[in-house]
Amino acid sequence: MRYSATQYAQVLYQTVADAPQSQTADQVRKFVQILKQHGRQSLMPDIMRAFAKLADERSGTRRVEVESAGELDLGHLQQQLGHAVKVVHQIRPELLGGVRIRLGDSLIDNSLVGRIAGLRQQVTS
């Protein structure tokens, strides 16, 4: 039976949560060794994303994903949203300008590409 990255992340989270802090590094090392033994180390990036999401959920931290065509000063956004928000920024040059903001299942697309797509849809409808 193959386990998903999310299932591995849940096991890792519980293992780390149950272990004394002094043993956390050893527990993570053992976890990685087990993944290697089973040929599942390619899942590590997905496991780490799922682990971070799980840790955020358990701590009550909301994750906001911001995509932009270039660098942004996210300090102001972080202040506006509050301390229980984690802002993750990705640069996506293909957006051409503007931003996309995702909070949970909500998406605000204020990118130039999104605006052009909206105009194209209005013109062809």
11-69 pLDDT, tens digit each: 999 998 888 888 889 999 999 999 999 999 899 999 999 998 898 888 888 888 899 99
Tell whether the model's pLDDT for residue 76 goes beyond 80. Answer: no
* Rounded Cα–Cα distance for residues 62 and 106 (Å): 13
pLDDT at 89 over 80: yes
Say what the pLDDT of residue 4 is.
Answer: 92
φ/ψ of 19, rounded to 5, equals -85, 145
Supply 96's token pair: 């051409």
- For the segment 106-112, the average pLDDT, to the nearest whole number, is 92
Predicted pLDDT of residue 46: 94
Is 94 buried (19+), middle (13-18) or exposed (0-12) by CB count in 10 A? Answer: exposed
Spatial contact of 85 and 78, defined as CB atoms under 8 Å apart: yes
